[in-house]
């Protein structure tokens, strides 16, 4: 029996065909794999980074704006509180002073009101003061010091009136201040009496001078 001798052309050809097919298949699969992998979208990635940076910058800016506005609001509140506190202190000082002049401005009809409402059209039943001296003689001017709780300068001496005595002579020029819980007087009412009193005295002096002059002529 002759030994088996493989046909070289057939076998090798088939082998090469098989190898070639496998290689082609392998190359095809690799090409498809690379084709399936998309190239990186560098432009899109850059745009995304820019957008992210923009969001971050806006976020930082918004946060800074909120902080700044908060600080401004807090500063304004503190300033407003300081102003209100100063106003309260000043009001308490004015109230504690208890001076007649300050009380006049607090009155419903005080010195300021008299000055501003001097127009004849604001008044009725107008009559001239005949005798101011008799009224002035009843007033009791005094010197005094304010108690410490009513004055920031209690060692200062004042000239004025006692409201209880003033009310007996000029009751309409005396009023009760609810905020002070004390009696107050309206000095504005006194000016007209003083002017009329000076006029009366001048008239008396003029008459006396004229009488003395007539006596000397005789």
Q: Over the stretch 47-95, which tens digit does the pLDDT of each residue have?
A: 666 666 666 677 777 777 777 766 666 766 666 677 767 766 666 665 5
Q: How confident is the model at residue 105 (pLDDT cuts 50, 70, 90)?
A: very low
Q: Are 175 and 108 in contact (CB under 8 A)?
A: yes
Mean pLDDT lowest for which of 46-60, 178-192, 198-212?
46-60
Mean pLDDT of the chain: 74
Q: How confident is the model at residue 106 (pLDDT cuts 50, 70, 90)?
A: very low
98-217 to CATH, choices 1.10.8, 3.40.50, 2.40.128, 1.10.10: 1.10.10
Q: Are 194 and 218 in contact (CB under 8 A)?
A: no
Q: Are 166 and 142 in contact (CB under 8 A)?
A: no
Burial (Cβ within 10 Å: 0-12, 13-18, ≥19) of residue 140: exposed
pLDDT value at position 117? 74
Give the angle subtended at the CA of 72 by the CAs of 66 and 74, to the nearest 5°. 100
Taking CB atoms within 8 Å and a gap of at least 24, the contacts of 16-19 are none
d(CA 39, CA 157): 99
Q: Mean pLDDT over residues 158-187, rounded?
A: 93
Q: Are 139 and 163 in contact (CB under 8 A)?
A: no
Where are the chain's structural domains? 98-217
pLDDT value at position 107? 44
């Amino acid at each position: 029996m002759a030994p088996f001798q493989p046909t070289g052309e057939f076998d090798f050809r088939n082998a090469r065909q098989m190898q070639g097919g496998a290689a082609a298949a392998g190359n095809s699969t690799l090409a498809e794999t690379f084709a399936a992998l998309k190239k990186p979208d560098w432009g899109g990635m850059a745009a995304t980074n820019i957008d992210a940076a923009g969001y971050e910058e806006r976020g930082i800016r918004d946060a800074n704006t909120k902080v700044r506005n908060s600080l401004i609001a807090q500063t304004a509140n503190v300033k407003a509180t300081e102003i209100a506190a100063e106003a309260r202190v000043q009001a308490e000082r004015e109230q504690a002073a208890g001076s007649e002049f300050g009380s006049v401005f607090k009155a419903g009809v005080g010195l300021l009101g008299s000055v501003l409402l001097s127009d004849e059209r604001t008044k009725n039943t107008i009559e001239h003061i005949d005798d101011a001296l008799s009224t002035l003689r009843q007033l009791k001017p005094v010197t005094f010091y304010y108690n410490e709780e009513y004055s920031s300068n209690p060692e200062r001496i004042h000239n004025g009136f006692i409201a209880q005595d003033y009310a007996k002579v000029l009751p309409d020029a005396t009023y009760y201040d609810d905020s002070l819980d004390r009696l107050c007087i309206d000095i504005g009412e006194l000016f007209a009496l003083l002017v009329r009193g000076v006029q009366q005295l001048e008239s008396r002096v003029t008459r006396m001078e004229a009488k003395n002059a007539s006596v000397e002529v005789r």
